[in-house]
Amino acid sequence: MEYQIGDIVTLKKAHPCGSKQWEVLRVGADFRLKCVGCGHQLMMPRIQVEKNTKEICKNT
C-alpha cells in the first residue's frame, strides 16, 4: 500500500472515542497518526498500520 502524508486511513479497530479514521502525519518505519474524532496522536510501527488498514482515502 502507498501511504502519503495527509491521507485518511480507516483502521479495523475503533479508537476509544469511537472514530476509526486516522490522519497520517508522518510516514516511515513508524507512522504518526492523528485521530480524526478527538485529535489524539500516536506513533505506530509500519507493519502494524499495514496489517490493520481497511481503507485509504487519498488526500488530493
Give the single-character DSSP code of 16. Answer: T
Residue 32 is part of a domain; what is its CATH number? 2.30.30
Query: Is residue 19 domain-resident?
Result: yes
pLDDT per residue, tens digit, the chain (60 aa), is 789 999 999 999 999 999 999 999 999 999 999 999 999 999 999 999 999 999 999 875
Query: Is residue 23 domain-resident?
Result: yes
Q: Are 9 and 33 in contact (CB under 8 A)?
A: yes
> Is the entire prediction scored with pTM above 0.85?
yes
